[in-house]
Amino acid sequence: MGLFLSTTTNKIDKKGRISVPSAFRTVLSKDDFAGVILFQSYTLPAIEGVSMSTMDMMNNRVDQNFAFFSNDHDELATVLFGGAVPLVFDGDGRITLPQHFIDHAQLGDQASFVGMGHKFQIWNPELFKDRQKQSLESVKSQGVTLSRKDT
Amino acid sequence: MGLFLSTTTNKIDKKGRISVPSAFRTVLSKDDFAGVILFQSYTLPAIEGVSMSTMDMMNNRVDQNFAFFSNDHDELATVLFGGAVPLVFDGDGRITLPQHFIDHAQLGDQASFVGMGHKFQIWNPELFKDRQKQSLESVKSQGVTLSRKDT
DNA sequence: TGACATCCCATGAAAATCCATGCTATCCCA
DNA sequence: TGGGATAGCATGGATTTTCATGGGATGTCA
């Protein structure tokens, strides 16, 4: 499917536009929707981004795990889909970030796109430095590792 | 899958380009992505290299072991994927090393590719000499061995 | 008609691509 | 077995293309 990898920092211009890194666009263009789905992280001052097909996948999981009219289902669906915003690329691969995302992630005139495999996050570059450092410490100290095993 | 074996030292030119040893390219070319994934070692002044399929494997493991929005998932993904850079070979089998990798591994105008089985490392040749010596002594004194057991 | 979104084009910097060269190991045939 | 041809590989440099970014023009909705 293609993975979101590496970290890229781009500028937000006066109009609130920002270029989605070319490599990320390539991953996103695998499905027919020419854009990206964004929603705010529930726990971090960051914006999460996924492809439309990943959104489909999450939708299926919600339906599998919860009865269709249960309260749990509706609560999760409300948060997950109610807060999700589809944004279409302009001709040059840019998107315009809605104001509440900019507020939530405390973005100034720059933003970092952080690849996380099947998804990515958008951060204030300064905040991300700390986040990165803290993640590394956490991964190292907790010994969260992956053993290599071919499937 | 093919293993990364032996050590080769190549030149880094003015533009930061370096030839990936032909034997390594052969191993990497087993999957459809014509390049290599690099990230910095968490503990050593070296760069680590793996194939895209290894990266895929790691991604699957992360998703299997951690809930998609859990903090553990995000921290691991940040370290693992946010710091990973996919580099495509040019027509002659070279890659251009990003500056922060050159800094981290303290590379001058040369670099050693060290085969390590499923992955390889890129070292400053001088630093690697010490590393090699120290590894050998450590293995000898601790009597590190391998159990012969597949899977 | 003003605010805002969308589309289009220009530009500079960076990255990808292409071509040339020399070295070395290998092969082939006399 | 010697020696020349050949192919693969690392290296250097030039050229072309892509990409991020800025700004203007056009369209749209309240």
Q: What is the DSSP string of B130-143?
A: HHHHHHHHHHHHHT
Q: What phi and psi values does residue A36 have, to the nearest 5 degrees?
A: -145, 155
C-beta atoms of A5 and B59 within 8 A: no
Confidence category of residue B144, pLDDT binned at 50, 70, 90: confident
Of B37, B63, B78, the CB nearest to A131: B78
Return the amino acid letter for B32: D
C-beta atoms of B56 and A3 within 8 A: yes
A138 in contact with chain B, both atoms CB, cutoff 8 A? yes
Domain ranges of chain A: 7-142
Q: What is the pLDDT along chain A (151 residues), one digit of tens a residue?
A: 699 999 999 999 999 999 999 999 999 998 888 899 999 998 999 999 999 999 999 999 989 999 999 998 898 888 888 899 999 999 999 999 999 999 999 999 999 999 999 999 999 999 999 999 999 999 988 765 665 554 4
Nearest to A112 by CA among A104, A147, A120: A120
Class of domain A7-142: alpha beta
A116 in contact with chain B, both atoms CB, cutoff 8 A? yes
Q: For chain B, how many residues are written?
A: 151
Collapsed DSSP state (helix, strand, coil) of residue A123:
strand
**Dihedral angle of Cα A102, A2, B55, A139, to the nearest 10 degrees:** 20
Helices (H), chain A: 22-28, 52-65, 71-82, 99-104, 125-142
Nearest to B109 by CA among B16, B3, B32: B16
**What percent of chain B has pLDDT above 70?**
98
**Residues in A 46-105 with any Cβ partner in B closer than 8 A:** 58
Residues 6+ apart with CB under 8 A from A107: A12, A97, A101, A122, A124
Sign of torsion over alpha carbons B24, B26, B27, B32? positive
**CA–C1' B91–C18 (A):** 8
Bases on strand D under 7 Å from any protein CB = 8-13, 18-24
For the stretch B90-116, pLDDT in tens is: 999 999 999 999 999 999 999 999 999
